[in-house]
Amino acid sequence: MIHVTIYENSRKECVGFQTEGHADYKDEGQDIVCAAASVLVINTINAIEAYASDECSVVNDEETGILAYHLRGGRPSKDADLLLKSMILGLENMADDENYAEYIDLKFEEV
């Protein structure tokens, strides 16, 4: 199962996230759940780097599936906020889908 934790500040703005694990929906190379979650997360990181001015820290371990992303400064820019909301929407849709819900766990934590 993929475990995703969304870190929010007191204003409910996303200031980071962490993914851990693998979906195990299908064999490696055939796992559409893992691929979809990976695309959402990695594209969000790349888009923030390309289109927003936010500074961040990223830790990645492909073997364990851990990817930790944290914005510096405690608040996202307007652009980063929109991109993060878009990622969260995609992950929520996956977690709520009856076909994929057992493969992805999404939770929110205030930091």
Domain ranges within the chain, ordered by starting residue: 2-110
pLDDT for 60-105, tens place per residue? Answer: 998 777 999 999 999 999 999 999 999 999 999 999 999 999 999 9
Residue whose tokens read 């759940």? 33
Has domain 2-110 been given CATH number 3.90.930.12? Answer: no
pLDDT the model gives residue 55: 96
pLDDT for 4-32, tens place per residue? Answer: 999 999 999 999 999 999 898 988 888 99
